[in-house]
A and B are shown apart, each in its own frame.
Chain A
Amino acid sequence: MSNATDKQTGAVQTTGHAWDGDLQEYNNPLPRWWVWTFYATVIFAIVYWILYPAWPIGTSYTKGIGNTITFTVDQTGEETTTHWNTRALLAHDMEYSDGAVKQQQYLNEIIGASYDEILSDPDKSAFMRSYAKGLFGDNCAACHGSGGTGVVGLFPNLVDDAWLWGGSTARIEETLRQGRMGFMPGFGPTFTEAQLDATAAYVLSMSGHEGGDAEQVAMGQKIFKGETGGCYYCHTSEGTGLESVGSANLTDSIWTVADVNGAEGYEAKHAAVKHVIENGISRHMPAWEGRLSDGEIKLLTAYVYSLSGGQ
């Protein structure tokens, strides 16, 4: 734009006002396209006020006309219709968008399939793992950890190949549905110190830990297999444990309560086992039936199975 002041003095348009005697203002109108754009934004704003929530009125606000969103409320399963808002829009999209519908279809297909079908099909398996990872994170990870490694002494490790309650899909599903009570009585009140030491030494020897006094081990064996301790009721006389009661296999290198693998040296390992025998175990996994849908339980079962390779 050429500068009007260059032409000649007096040729410049002013707004016509004069302040303080001689203070004037040049008239610099907006370009035409700018003005049009401005009017367009005004019209846009008016249309927006009508269609979308806009004006506060007391404790409420204008809700927008002819612009509602219908979605299903997660918690109650009821269908609601509300005025336009981004939260409802998200809920609606999570339910009805192309991606959500496709995901739901595939999810239903997988839920309808057998465990064998899910675990033998790479695509179904991959989808199951992606989807159930979220479920696991929401519901299971608080105790078992997001990777499923659990906490020694408190929550079992789900990724190793040892199973207290059985690692078949049927047993895992049962565990999830009903929950489990892991209980072992404490022998502190009934055993003498020597008996505790002996039993702990024998238990360690079952998994090949050397360093125990031979006499002590022999005494421990008697307690374990005899009526003094009665340990074999649950752990069996071979010490391999029973799935039906959730007793641990004492002959392998997996320790879920006494931190034998984490302890340095025989003395420490012995102390860890002795502590468990003395105080017993009382662990509780809640039942998930009713809290999770059948489909979710199925996916989680397959997921836990695939984490460890099952049994």
Chain B
Amino acid sequence: MSSEEPIELYAKRIPIYPRSVKGRFRRLKWGILALAYGVYFLLPWMRWERPVGPDQAVLWDLPGRRFYLFDLIVHPQDIFWLAWLLAIAAFLLFFVTGIAGRVFCGYFCFQTLWTDVYIAIERLVQGERPARIRLAKQPWNGEKVTKLGLTHLLWLGVAFLTGFSFTMYWGNAPDLAVEFFTGQAPFAAYGATFFLMTTTYVMAGLAREQVCTYMCPYSRFQSAMFDKDTLIVSYDAERGEGTAGRSKVAKGLKTREERQAKGVGDCIDCGYCVQVCPAGIDIRNGMQYQCIHCGLCIDACDSIMDKMEWPRGLVRYTSENALEGNKTRVLKLKTVGYGILLAILTGTLVWNVASQAPYDASARQVRQPLYVQLSDGRIRNSYELKANNKTTKPMTIDITIEGLPGAEVDTGRIKHLHVEPEKSARLLVQVIAPKPAGAGPTQRDFVFVLTPTDREDIKPIVVESRFHTP
């Protein structure tokens, strides 16, 4: 670099133009993509019959403080399920990563899924890898403007659909969609759509593999879970390089026998595995942190090996141990431990969800004043009772107390607490009891027994509380 040349301010991204490939892993990836997109884009439109509440199968109802998941209704007080779910997701990631490497990155991560779609669009409009490289190099003319413009337009379209579908989960989709396009939707709907549209476009269209290499923390800490038994996408260097290294197919190096006789490996250095890589790396250089284990280089190499009529698997899923000629051990303390933890966590969550209390209640004592002396000398304490009906039918609750001799309950003009389905109700309950013999303040524990009178399917619940006397 001469001193006249302007200094580069930052390292530019080296553009990657992945070539398309056909094969098992590509088919698997398309399948997962179709499934994921089917679920993501169609789920908000699915209807679901409920006795009360919206008829949308999956609805995150923030104003109503309810998450509707088919027949499961998640209330704010169930939010610890989310923590549980995240813990399960984390352990599932550890478990799977320990056994089979970055499966999540390669097949399920939405960065990978969306980038795949964006690359497909790019190929559809601009053609295969050489055509794209040529287009990128040529000066700005009509063709370049049209093709690049169309690509970005389609990208923006997918990005918009992505953001729009996300928004549809947070309201009744058919209504919200109409409101959205007639300009009547809440600002949050436009904001969320625009935000997700922008991030999708930037991440899947422009940033792509940089998200995995520079931004994503998971991609970095997954490598920490690898060991010598972990399945990784790997180049069999011993077979590929032989003793004299790789070589192109040339005169005298056409058949395997000829090559092996000269110590040349099976890799014909066609570069197909490098060209298909969405991360832009050469798998033959060994395991690299950029590698998302998508398996496309395996498809590429397998297709070449098939053409050469040589056995497949020069690039394959294998473990370091297997490459060194040892056995791959799957059952070991780490994987079994993660597996057991995962089973326990999942079991507890399922049990917790299944045994969700149909209703709950709390009693908060009025503390100002803690007690009141009445004209007949008895003492009164007041409690704010709150009952929460989580079922889809109304219930009427009868309130009695136990454990306080001679006490009576006064609920004013509301004799029974009626709670609408999916609603809660509050009631001021006054408990009046004679002052126990003997001087001095006392605190006595007692319980409210709340019995739903019109629902045989629901057991009474007991709420503990305390009675104070001066």
Which A residues are closer than 8 A to B by beta carbons? 1-2, 4, 7, 10-13, 27, 29-32, 116, 119-123, 125-126, 129, 145-149, 157, 159-162, 249, 252-254, 261, 306, 308-310
B19 to chain A, nearest CB (A): 30
Q: Which of A29, A31, A129, A157 contacts B428 (CB 8 A)?
A: A129
Taking a contact as CB atoms under 8 Å apart, the answer to whether B9 and A31 are in contact is: yes
Type the 1/0 row for B427-463, where 1 means its CB is closer than 8 Å to any CB of A.
Answer: 1101000000000000000000000000000000000
Residues of A within 8 A of B412 (CB): 119, 125, 306, 309-310
Report the Cα distance A88→B413, complex, angstroms: 42
Interface pairs (16), CB distance under 8 Å: A12-B3, A31-B9, A32-B10, A119-B414, A120-B414, A122-B427, A125-B427, A145-B368, A146-B368, A149-B368, A160-B380, A252-B375, A253-B375, A261-B373, A306-B428, A309-B412
Taking a contact as CB atoms under 8 Å apart, the answer to whether A31 and B3 are in contact is: no
Report the Cα distance A35→B457, complex, angstroms: 67
Report the Cα distance A202→B417, complex, angstroms: 46
A8 to chain B, nearest CB (A): 8
Residues of A within 8 A of B1 (CB): 4, 7, 11
B372 at the interface (CB under 8 A from A): yes
B228 at the interface (CB under 8 A from A): no
Taking a contact as CB atoms under 8 Å apart, the answer to whether A13 and B7 are in contact is: yes
Of all A-B residue pairs in the complex, the 8 with the closest CB atoms, nearest first, are: A147-B368, A252-B375, A126-B426, A122-B425, A120-B413, A253-B377, A119-B413, A149-B369
B198 to chain A, nearest CB (A): 15
Residues of B within 8 A of A129 (CB): 426, 428
B11 at the interface (CB under 8 A from A): yes
B66 at the interface (CB under 8 A from A): no
B1 to chain A, nearest CB (A): 6
A120-B414, A122-B417, A122-B418 known; A10-B3 Cβ under 8 A: yes
Residues of B within 8 A of A122 (CB): 414, 417-418, 425-427
Report the Cα distance A120→B7, complex, angstroms: 80
Residues of B within 8 A of A161 (CB): 374-375, 380
Residues of B within 8 A of A120 (CB): 413-414
Majority-rule SS of B interface residues: loop
Count class of interface residues, chain B: 20 to 34
Give 17 new A-B contacts, CB below 8 A, not counting A12-B3, A123-B425, A162-B374: A4-B1, A13-B7, A27-B7, A31-B9, A31-B10, A121-B414, A122-B417, A125-B414, A125-B426, A126-B425, A126-B426, A145-B368, A147-B369, A160-B373, A253-B376, A308-B372, A309-B412
Type the 1/0 row for B348-391, where 1 means its CB is closer than 8 Å to any CB of A.
Answer: 00000000000000000010110011111100101000000000
Taking a contact as CB atoms under 8 Å apart, the answer to whether B413 and A11 are in contact is: no
Residues of B within 8 A of A31 (CB): 9-10
Report the Cα distance A29→B410, complex, angstroms: 77
A280 to chain B, nearest CB (A): 23
B327 to chain A, nearest CB (A): 45
Report the Cα distance A153→B101, complex, angstroms: 80
Q: Which residue of A lies closest to B370 (CB)?
A: A147
Most buried by B among A7, A147, A149: A147
Q: Which residue of B lies closest to A308 (CB)?
A: B372
B182 at the interface (CB under 8 A from A): no
A172 to chain B, nearest CB (A): 15
Q: Which residue of B lies closest to A118 (CB)?
A: B413
Report the Cα distance A93→B1, complex, angstroms: 61
Q: Which residue of B lies closest to A4 (CB)?
A: B7
Q: Which residue of B lies closest to A120 (CB)?
A: B413
B77 at the interface (CB under 8 A from A): no
B285 at the interface (CB under 8 A from A): no
B2 at the interface (CB under 8 A from A): yes
A191 to chain B, nearest CB (A): 28
A96 to chain B, nearest CB (A): 15
Report the Cα distance A129→B11, complex, angstroms: 65
B187 to chain A, nearest CB (A): 12
A125-B414, A146-B368, A149-B369 known; A29-B9 Cβ under 8 A: yes
Residues of B within 8 A of A30 (CB): 9
Most buried by A among B1, B3, B375, B426: B375
A123-B425, A146-B368 known; A254-B375 Cβ under 8 A: yes
Taking a contact as CB atoms under 8 Å apart, the answer to whether A1 and B372 are in contact is: no
A241 to chain B, nearest CB (A): 11
Residues of A within 8 A of B430 (CB): 309
B23 to chain A, nearest CB (A): 39
Residues of B within 8 A of A11 (CB): 1-3
Residues of A within 8 A of B10 (CB): 1, 31-32
Residues of A within 8 A of B410 (CB): 309
Q: Which residue of B lies closest to A149 (CB)?
A: B369
Residues of B within 8 A of A1 (CB): 8-11
B210 to chain A, nearest CB (A): 13
Q: Which of B9, B372, B414 contacts A159 (CB 8 A)?
A: B372
